[in-house]
């Protein structure tokens, strides 16, 4: 049931994202096509885990794990397409990479992994290996391929993107991707270590699946796929908190030095753009008039200290909002 709900949610988000992307970006570039291919492949891979759908797909193959093979194959496609998209992004934005040659080599290894997966499924169809062995051999091949890709490519590039991103909703998305990557890496390590004993003994155990990857991945994908304006609305409480902190600072300054303040219109309190604009106005008032305070005024000294510490506007707002009155 959980897989079915997760699958439906992902399909809704994917279709919504693609429709929104088609309206906003014309013509569609290669990076956008790769991104949509990634999310469609994720949706298909998750759908293949729904028991009712898997049963329908497996029936023509005599109950053999065809659905699992499709799930693993589309997961491989996700890894390759994401590696390609990061290669394009790193080249265009000149993102430093630990090894560009390794990045490309891992992409070029994907066809070999796919051939091995086809071979495993052929052995199962020929009755040479059991369903259990097929299931774990396919997963082991995928994890062995994915682990170096995650550790040496996905995590370093996404870490760089997270550190250099200034837009808060995009930082949240990069953080979600990092959580997803670290979760997949931990899951891959367990699978690589504990699947071989299962293949040797033929006895199943839960050790390769100790990491709750599906639950974490579902949450991260939801964060990555939800529309940008939803993310902005979710950040409204934090925006309001920072505005009222800065406005209190501004109010103190007005009592010491006369200037006109723009009144806050409460009917617009649920509009993130308005709150952001009012915060900007308050900060400008502070910067325009703080020098009129006496040289030894503690508030003037605090502002001067913050201006030396923070040259970025967003960082300055965060700092002003955290100053204790």
Query: Residue 275 in contact with residue 236, Cβ under 8 Å?
Result: yes
Q: Is the bond leading into 28 cis (omega within 30 degrees of zero)?
A: no
Give the per-residue pLDDT at 3: 65
Span 155-210, pLDDT tens digits: 999 999 998 887 777 888 899 999 999 999 999 999 999 999 999 998 998 889 88
Give the per-residue pLDDT at 100: 82
Distance CA 276, CA 283 (A): 11
Cα distances (angstroms) measured from residue 140 to each of 59, 173, 208: 24, 29, 10
Give the per-residue pLDDT at 322: 66
Span 255-295, pLDDT tens digits: 888 778 888 888 888 788 888 888 888 888 887 887 877 77
Give the per-residue pLDDT at 324: 56
Query: Residue 168 in contact with residue 187, Cβ under 8 Å?
Result: no
pLDDT of residue 229 exceeding 70, the answer is no
How is residue 283 written in tokens? 């900060």
Span 11-66, pLDDT tens digits: 887 787 777 766 765 566 777 788 889 989 988 988 888 888 888 888 887 777 88
Distance CA 238, CA 217 (A): 26
Cα distances (angstroms) measured from residue 72 to each of 47, 77, 81, 131, 227: 12, 9, 14, 15, 28
Of the candidates 45, 51, 61, the residue with the CA atom closest to the CA atom of residue 122: 61
Distance CA 110, CA 108 (A): 5
Per-residue confidence band for 85, with pLDDT thresholds at 50, 70 and 90: very high
């Amino acid at each position: 049931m959980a897989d079915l709900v997760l699958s439906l949610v992902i399909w809704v988000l994917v279709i919504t994202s693609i429709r929104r992307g088609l309206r906003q970006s014309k013509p569609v570039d290669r990076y956008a096509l790769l991104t949509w291919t990634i999310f469609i492949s994720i949706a298909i891979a998750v759908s293949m885990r729904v028991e009712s759908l898997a049963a329908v797909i497996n029936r023509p193959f005599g109950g053999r794990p065809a659905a699992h093979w499709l799930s693993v194959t589309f997961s491989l496609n996700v890894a390759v397409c994401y590696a390609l998209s990061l290669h394009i992004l790193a080249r265009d934005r000149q993102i430093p990479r630990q090894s560009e040659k390794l990045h490309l080599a891992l992409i070029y290894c994907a066809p070999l992994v796919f051939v091995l997966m086809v071979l495993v499924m052929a052995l199962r169809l020929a009755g040479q290996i059991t369903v259990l062995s097929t299931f774990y051999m396919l997963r082991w091949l995928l994890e062995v391929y994915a682990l170096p890709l995650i550790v040496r490519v996905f995590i370093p590039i996404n870490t760089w993107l997270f550190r250099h991103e200034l837009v808060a909703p995009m930082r949240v998305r990069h953080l979600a991707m990092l959580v997803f990557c670290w979760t997949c890496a931990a899951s891959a390590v367990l699978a690589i270590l504990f699947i071989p004993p299962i293949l040797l003994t033929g006895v199943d155990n839960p050790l390769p699946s100790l990491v709750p990857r599906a639950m974490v991945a579902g949450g991260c994908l939801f964060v990555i796929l939800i529309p940008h304006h939803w993310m902005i609305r979710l950040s409204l409480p934090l925006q309001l908190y920072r505005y009222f902190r800065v406005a209190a600072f501004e109010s103190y300054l007005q009592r010491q030095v006369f200037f006109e303040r723009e009144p806050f219109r409460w009917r617009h309190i649920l509009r993130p753009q308005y709150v952001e604009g009012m915060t900007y106005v308050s900060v400008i008032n502070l910067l325009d008039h703080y020098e009129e305070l006496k040289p030894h005024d503690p508030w003037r000294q605090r502002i001067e200290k913050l201006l030396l510490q923070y040259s970025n506007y967003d960082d300055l707002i965060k700092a002003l909002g955290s100053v204790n009155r």
